[in-house]
Structure formats: C-alpha cells, structure tokens
Amino acid sequence: MEAPAPVARSRHVLVSALGITQIIAWGSSFYLPAVLAAPIAAQTGWSLASVVAGLSCGLLLAGLVSPITGRLIQRHGGRPILAASSLLLASAHGLMATATAYPIYLLAWLLMGLGMSSGLYDAGFATLGRLYGRDARGAITSLTLFGGFASTVCWPLSAFLVEHEGWRFACLAYAAIHLLVCLPLHLWVIPPPPAAAPRPATGEQKRGSASGQMRTRFILLASIQTVAALISSMLSVHLLTLLQLRGVGLTVAVGFGALIGPSQVGARVAEMLIGRNRHHPIWTMMTSVSLLAAGVGLLFVSQTFIAVGLILYGGGNGIYTIARGALPLVLFDPQQYAALMGRLAMPSLIVQAAAPSIGALLLHAGGGNLLLEVLTIAAIGNVALCAGLGSILRR
C-alpha cells in the first residue's frame, strides 16, 4: 500500500508540523535520560553510569551514519527519511520498554541513534534546505523555536508517565506518539523536493580553485560546530556539579540552570524578528560563539555573575542552532545542502557522545576550575576560528 501523498504545501504548515515532530523527537531521545535514567537504574539494578552510557552509544552511531542520512535526503528528499526516523524511534522505545538485559537496552539505544540521525535538527534543516534552498533561513529559524520547547514539554510528560505508570509505560507511550502523531505528519505534510537544476560547466582550473576554497570553508565550519558541541554537551551534563563545586546549593543551582532555556528561546525570537535575511549568517555565528565565550568566561572568573554568565551562554547557544542551519546555505551550493549537513554533523555528534566522559575526567583530575578553564579556552578559540572564517569570506 502506497503512503498517502502530502496534502500541505504551505511553508507555515510544514514548519509547524516539523516543529511538533522535533519537540517529540528531541524530548523522547536526547532529553530522555534526564528523567528516565534514575528509575531505570533503580528498577533494573544497572549502574546509573551504565544507563546514561546508552545515550552516548546512540549519539556515536548517529554521528557515524549522519553523512549517509544527508546523502539520502539529498537524493530522495526529507519525507521518507523523517518518516523512517519515526519508525526507528518507535521501535527503539518499544524495545527499551521490554529490555530486561543490558545488551538489549544498548541495542534499543543504537536504534535510537539511527532515529536521532534521521529525525533531529540536522535532518529537519536538510529537509528545509532541500525544499527552499537559500530561502530556507526563515523556516530554519522558526523550526528552532519549536525545538527549544522539547525539554519544557517532554520532561514534565515523562515525569508524569513515570510517576503514575512507570518508565516502561513511558517508553511505550512515546512509541505510540511516534507512530500516531509523528509518522502521519511526516508522510502527509512534507512535499517532494524540487528536481535538482543541472550544474553549469566550469573549467578545470576554476573548479580546482573553488574546490580548495570550499574545503577550507568546510574544515573551519566543521571545527566551529565541533567545539560548540563540546562546550554545550559538557555543560549540559556537568553544570549542576560545577555550580555546587563553587559553593552553590543544589536548589539555587537548579534555579540558575533554568535561566538557560528562556535565554535560548529569547535569543531565537530576537534573531527571527530583527535578523532574518538582514545580515549575513556569519554574523549570527560570530555573535553566538562570542556570547558562548563571554558566558563560559564569566562562569570561570567570577561567582558573582553566574546568572549573567548563564543568560549569555543560553542566548549564544540559542542562536548558534540557527547559525548552524543557516550558514551552510550561503557558504556552499544550496543544491548540496542536505548532503553537506550530514557531513558537518558527523564530528559534532561524535564529540557530543564523548564530551560527558571527557568532562568527568577533567573534574576528577582538577575539579571544576580545570573544566571551566578548558571550556573557556575552547570557547575563545572558537571565536578565533569564526573570525578566520569571516576573513576568508571577505576576500
């Protein structure tokens, strides 16, 4: 039986539908262990570290297969790939709900990794870029606004399900949501991509020169994204520990951490209102990495300005997501955007998988000051990388 043809072509309808599926995909995968890890460990007897390691395995596999995902979206459009992500995530949750042996639990996370590779931001951005080309920037910005509410929506939902029915039921509920909500939206709303335009013929010398320039741009952009992923992944896992090592009580630390989410969304709204198509996205990227550096730097040098540092960090992290999707549209051939997004995502996802363990080693070796020092140096280095990319674009 053939899948029904997509019924909506409106950009607003498409972005809204993808926004809903992004909230569910992020909330039921990347943000899942924040609520389910402790109940899983308590019920199964597995260590908490072993339970959380499942996410690292999933992210690692997502990074390894992301270039393949990008090429598939480039060739076939986002509709079949995002639909497949719904099936993969539903299968992963179903398997996790029945897992009584740790290898089965890890297998569920590997399935989850395949679903994350084909269903999170990179796949969503690639789908929009494949459909709208250089005009996708506004749609990408709007999509990140939806995604910013993933933890806001899914953490309370997960907690409610765990409290009333247990973590296994929560997994089954998410499996049902992917099948009954996300899968139909992906099948019915995403239109087929336009046919790729033929490439103009170019001379060998010109093509070789352009290839060298594109390679330099790609290396710099991939490096910027990888460093940003390292910083955000380490802080997302270790922030509360860092604050407590600096003498902040747990309740106050949680309150400080709660500043990040609204700052992310606020910065994205500001970018959407004042920045859409009015400046080159390299300035969005430069602003984001500068805010990240300022925020992390304040956490390192002063306990007095923790709140300010986290607001700056949250704002930088919020618009970084927009820059990550918008900048490749103008740096490279938009017809190759989907495949390129898959290649760019690979090192970032691998680093995301390893960063929590690296952060734990740094904490063990030198405490919170060492970890913050490393993060500050990395953030300042990222500003330099972005400035280097900007100087190349001005030539």
Confirm if 102 and 48 have CB atoms less than 8 A apart.
no
Q: Are residues 80 and 24 in the same domain?
A: yes
Which token pair is 12?
């607003």
DSSP 135: G
58 and 173, same domain (yes or no): yes
Q: Are residues 180 and 232 in the same domain?
A: no
Summarize the confidence of residues 287-311 as an average pLDDT: 90
| pLDDT value for 382 | 95
Residue 171 domain-assigned (yes or no): yes
Q: Report the chain's terminal Cα–Cα distance, integer Å.
A: 54
Question: Are 292 and 222 contained in the same domain?
Answer: yes
Q: What is the pTM of this model?
A: 0.84
**Does a structural domain hold residue 197?**
no
148 shares its domain with 231: no
What is the number of structural domains in the chain? 2
Which residue type, as a one-letter code, is found at position 34? A
172 Cβ contact partners less than 8 Å away, ≥ 6 residues apart:
93, 94, 97
Find out whether 81 and 69 touch, Cβ atoms under 8 Å.
yes
Kindly state whether residues 28 and 108 are assigned to the same domain.
yes
Q: List pLDDT tens digits, range 19-74.
A: 999 999 999 998 888 888 889 998 999 988 888 889 889 999 999 999 999 999 99
Residue range(s) defining the domain that contains residue 180: 11-189
Please indicate, yes or no, if residue 2 is contained in any of the structural domains.
Answer: no
**143-147 mean pLDDT:** 87
Tell whether 206 is covered by a domain.
Answer: no
3-state secondary structure of 56: helix
Q: Which residues, 6 or more positions from 45, have their beta carbon under 8 angstroms from its beta carbon?
A: none
Question: What are the φ and ψ backbone dihedral angles of 249, each rounded to 5 degrees?
Answer: -65, 160
Cα–Cα distance measured from residue 262 to residue 323, given in angstroms and rounded to the nearest whole number: 18
Q: Which of 155, 189, 223 is the last residue of a domain?
A: 189
Q: Which of 174, 189, 204 is the last residue of a domain?
A: 189
**pLDDT score, position 377:** 95
According to the model, what pLDDT value does residue 265 have?
A: 86
Tokens of residue 369, six digits: 């000051």
Query: Which of 136, 156, 189 is a domain's end point?
Result: 189
Burial class for 9, CB neighbours closer than 10 Å (0-12, 13-18, 19+): exposed
User: 151 and 78, same structural domain?
Assistant: yes
Cβ within 8 Å of residue 110, ≥6 positions away: 57, 58, 61
Q: Do residues 242 and 372 both lie within one domain?
A: yes
306-363 residue pLDDT tens: 899 999 999 999 999 889 988 998 888 888 888 898 899 999 999 988 888 888 888 8
Residue 284 domain flag: yes
- How far apart are alpha carbons 30 and 170 in whole angstroms? 15
SS3 state at 4: coil
AA letter at 60: L
CA-CA distance, 105 to 110, in Å (whole number)? 9
Are residue 227 and residue 115 in the same domain, yes or no? no
The answer to whether position 163 is within a domain reads yes
Residue 257 lies in a domain: yes
Whether 168 and 309 share a structural domain:
no
CATH number where 148 lies: 1.20.1250.20
For 41, the 3-state DSSP assignment is helix
Residues 222 and 133 placed together within one structural domain of the fold: no
* Rounded-to-integer distance, Cα 347 and Cα 341, Å: 11
If we measure between CA atoms, which residue out of 331, 136, 354, 121 comes closest to residue 226? Answer: 354
Residue with the two structure tokens 């409610």: 160
Over residues 225-229, the mean pLDDT reads 94
In a domain, 56, yes or no: yes
Same domain, 113 and 174: yes
- pLDDT-based confidence at 275, cuts 50/70/90? low
Instruction: Answer whether residue 1 shows pLDDT above 80.
Output: no
